[in-house]
């Protein structure tokens, strides 16, 4: 009963928020037509009223609703097909999770609402995409070509070297960061999102912008983190206080760089769409692969095949994710070895995992060859950009010399502090060598970036599970059966994080959005460390209280700093300034 009241109050609060937004829309600048209620404003009001009334009516007639639900369930289960589906272990497991963790649903709802507010710059309804490159490529697929549906200026073909920007800058209009080859424009970003748009085009009208894609994929990233964190909690940490789960879920949705990437015009472009798509499919594949580890042969093969498809779409969206995908595939093989599973069924499972990965890699190779005559050329060599002549620096794009500089930028580079809201402002990549003893190529540059120790200091807890693993390894401590899977998950998340992070360390360009390549795994690893640290201090009440204070403080700092930095590059800040004045 107490849990139902808490959930109902959360819905009432959100409903009042929507109701207030609709009523005060004119005063806060959301509706510029006084006295004329638009359909959207009426819809927001209706949603708010429904969210307020439904929980109140439910609490008033709770017993009657329970009787109706029980009778409906009984009628449904009388159907043989429905009864068979309901008896599936996976359905029973999901049903139990939903029942036991329904108190976390308001967090899910609030995060999605906040994402809508951010991606629309506080307007709720104006979703203006700064680019539509993936829609153009999907349109090119419809025209049975691999180029985008854009016609290059004929003067580009007349230039002796169109890849040097000084030959066309200021005289010929060229789309930002696009590949040009033999009179056509191509994308060097992974084509998987465009292929999805091409397949789904019969079911929608118009062109979907890169902003809409970014929003969907970032919502999906948060949803998969939400599900995975709850599953970990349910199996290994359910004895801990529930507030630790709640703040952990809130953290996964509100930290950089996901919220930072939702800023229209300065974010949510083709770059963010490709990165978020790759991470969405990487996490989805990982979640499916974890559920397949202990399944029987047929069920495991189906799930591993699905995981392979998802991972193929992952590096089909962002080629650099082929490194974490390869490492995670090796981790699956290591699980079979660690569990001493028979060679034949293990080989069959790995075959079903590897088959879509191999087909995906072959498709990407063919895609590159058909466009540029090389299976390894994705188009970066033929990129047109107003700022850099990349062909001149082709051999310097990836170099270990960037490692120290990128470590500084991604981990400890601070933000600027302003006396005006939102107070924290991201800086451009620090391109001056931090140490004088190594020569940093002049090519090195980037965009907005802030070190994770400033934006998400909560990642310090990621040291806890790694330290425990190292201590157990040094002491040769036998791992109990129940903890073996958690150990594998920790190592797998670590390899997934490192597979993406190490590549970024040797890349010539640094940016906040690149942190999304590794942040979900690092964040979930940190959450596990936070929970494990609490368990380790179970016999010392004073140290546990201090630990809790530190943990809550780091969660709060991570959420506040990330949100303020996201607002700093989002037009929504102007709406907030207007409200506060």
Higher-pLDDT residue of 482, 529: 529
Express as a percent the part of the chain with pLDDT over 70: 88
**Range name among 79-83, 316-320, 439-443, 526-530 with the lowest pLDDT average:** 79-83
Judge whether residue 541 has pLDDT over 50. yes
Higher-pLDDT residue of 17, 265: 17
Q: Quote the CA–CA distance of 515 and 265 in Å, as a whole number.
A: 19
**DSSP string covering 132-175, please?**
-HHHHHHHHHHTT-SS-S-PPPHHHHHSS-TTSGGGTTTTS---
**For the segment 233-256, what is each residue's pLDDT rounded down to a tens digit?**
999 999 999 999 999 999 999 998
Q: Reduce the secondary structure of 431-473 to three states and give it as a string.
A: CCCCCCCCCCCCCCEECEECCHHHHCHHHHHHHHHHHHHHHHH
What angle, 0 to 180 degrees and rounded to 10, lies between the N-to-C axes of helices 192-200 and 297-317? 110
Higher-pLDDT residue of 68, 154: 154
**Mean pLDDT of the region 159-185:** 89
Helix (H) or strand (E) holding 48: helix 39-60
- For 571, the 3-state DSSP assignment is coil
Judge whether residue 565 has pLDDT over 80. yes
What pLDDT score was predicted for residue 580? 42
- For 129, the 3-state DSSP assignment is coil
**For the segment 174-194, what is each residue's pLDDT rounded down to a tens digit?**
888 899 999 999 999 999 999
Higher-pLDDT residue of 85, 393: 393
Residues 6 and 103: beta-carbon distance below 8 Å: yes
Q: Quote the CA–CA distance of 389 and 408 in Å, as a whole number.
A: 26
**Mean pLDDT of the region 559-569:** 91
Judge whether residue 478 has pLDDT over 60. yes
**Mean pLDDT of the region 268-293:** 94
Express as a percent the part of the chain with pLDDT over 90: 57
**Spans of all domains in the chain:** 1-87
* Dihedral (CA of 361, 366, 369, 372) sign: negative
Judge whether residue 6 has pLDDT over 60. no
What pLDDT score was predicted for residue 125? 77
Q: Quote the CA–CA distance of 25 and 100 in Å, as a whole number.
A: 37
Higher-pLDDT residue of 25, 566: 566
**For the segment 334-381, what is each residue's pLDDT rounded down to a tens digit?**
999 988 888 999 999 999 999 999 999 999 999 999 999 999 999 999
Q: How far is CA 401 from the centre of its chain?
A: 29
What pLDDT score was predicted for residue 481? 65
pTM listed for this prediction: 0.86
What pLDDT score was predicted for residue 391? 85
What pLDDT score was predicted for residue 294? 86
**For the segment 396-427, what is each residue's pLDDT rounded down to a tens digit?**
899 999 999 999 999 999 999 988 878 899 99
* Dihedral (CA of 151, 153, 154, 160) sign: negative
pLDDT winner (highest mean) among 13-22, 59-68, 72-81, 102-111: 102-111
Judge whether residue 172 has pLDDT over 70. yes
Judge whether residue 308 has pLDDT over 80. yes
What pLDDT score was predicted for residue 354? 96
Judge whether residue 579 has pLDDT over 60. no
Higher-pLDDT residue of 265, 102: 102
Q: Quote the CA–CA distance of 84 and 74 in Å, as a whole number.
A: 14
What pLDDT score was predicted for residue 77? 64
Compute the mean pLDDT over every residue in the chain, rounded to the nearest whole number: 87
Judge whether residue 89 has pLDDT over 80. no
């Amino acid at each position: 009963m107490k849990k139902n009241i808490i959930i109902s109050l959360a819905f009432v609060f959100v409903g009042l928020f929507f109701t207030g937004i609709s009523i005060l829309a004119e005063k806060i600048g959301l509706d510029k037509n006084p006295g004329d209620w638009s359909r959207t404003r009426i819809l927001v009001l209706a949603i708010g009223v429904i969210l307020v009334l439904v929980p109140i009516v439910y609490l008033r007639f709770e017993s009657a609703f329970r009787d109706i639900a029980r009778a409906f369930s009984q009628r449904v289960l009388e159907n043989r097909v429905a009864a068979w589906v309901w008896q599936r272990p996976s359905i029973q497991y999901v049903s139990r999770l939903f029942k036991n963790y329904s108190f976390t649903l308001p967090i899910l709802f609030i995060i999605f609402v906040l994402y809508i507010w951010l991606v629309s710059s506080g307007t709720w309804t104006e979703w203006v995409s700064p680019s539509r490159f993936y829609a153009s490529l999907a349109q090119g697929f419809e025209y049975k070509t691999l180029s985008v549906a854009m016609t290059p200026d004929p003067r580009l073909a007349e230039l002796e070297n169109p890849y040097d920007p000084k030959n066309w800058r200021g005289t010929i209009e060229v789309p930002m960061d696009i590949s040009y080859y033999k009179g056509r424009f191509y994308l060097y970003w992974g084509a998987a999102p465009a292929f999805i748009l091409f397949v789904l085009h019969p079911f929608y009208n118009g062109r979907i912008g890169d902003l809409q894609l970014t929003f969907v994929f970032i919502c999906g990233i948060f949803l998969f983190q939400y599900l995975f964190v709850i599953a970990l909690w349910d199996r290994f940490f359910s004895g801990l206080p529930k507030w630790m789960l709640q703040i952990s879920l809130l953290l996964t949705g509100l930290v950089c760089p996901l919220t930072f990437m939702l800023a229209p015009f300065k974010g949510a472009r083709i770059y963010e769409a490709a990165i978020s798509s790759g991470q969405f499919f990487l996490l989805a594949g990982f979640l499916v692969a974890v559920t397949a580890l202990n399944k029987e042969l047929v069920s495991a093969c189906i799930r591993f095949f699905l995981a392979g498809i998802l991972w193929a779409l992952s590096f089909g969206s962002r080629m650099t994710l082929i490194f974490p995908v390869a490492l995670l595939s090796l981790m699956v093989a290591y699980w079979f070895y660690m569990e001493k599973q028979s060679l034949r069924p293990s080989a069959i499972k790995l075959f079903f995992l590897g088959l879509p990965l191999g087909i995906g890699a072959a498709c990407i190779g063919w895609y590159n060859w058909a466009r540029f005559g090389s299976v390894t050329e994705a188009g970066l060599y033929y990129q047109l950009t107003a700022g850099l002549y990349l062909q001149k620096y082709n051999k310097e794009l990836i170099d270990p010399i960037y490692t120290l500089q990128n470590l500084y930028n991604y981990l400890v580079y601070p933000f600027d502090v302003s006396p005006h809201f939102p107070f924290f402002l991201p800086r451009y990549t620090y391109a001056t060598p931090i140490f004088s003893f190594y020569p940093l190529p002049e090519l090195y540059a980037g965009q907005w970036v802030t070190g994770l120790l400033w934006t998400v200091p909560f990642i310090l807890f990621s040291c806890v599970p790694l330290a425990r693993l190292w201590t157990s390894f040094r002491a040769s401590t036998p791992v109990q059966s129940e903890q073996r899977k958690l150990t594998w998950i920790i190592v797998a998340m670590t390899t997934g994080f490192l597979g993406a992070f190490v590549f970024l360390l040797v890349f010539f360009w640094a940016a906040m959005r690149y942190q999304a390549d590794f942040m979900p795994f690092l964040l979930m690893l940190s959450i596990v460390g936070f929970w494990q640290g609490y368990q380790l201090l179970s016999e010392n009440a004073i140290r546990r209280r201090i630990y809790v204070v530190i943990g809550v403080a780091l969660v709060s700092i991570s959420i506040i700093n990330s949100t303020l930095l996201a607002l700093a590059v989002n037009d929504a800040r102007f709406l907030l300034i207007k409200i506060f004045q």
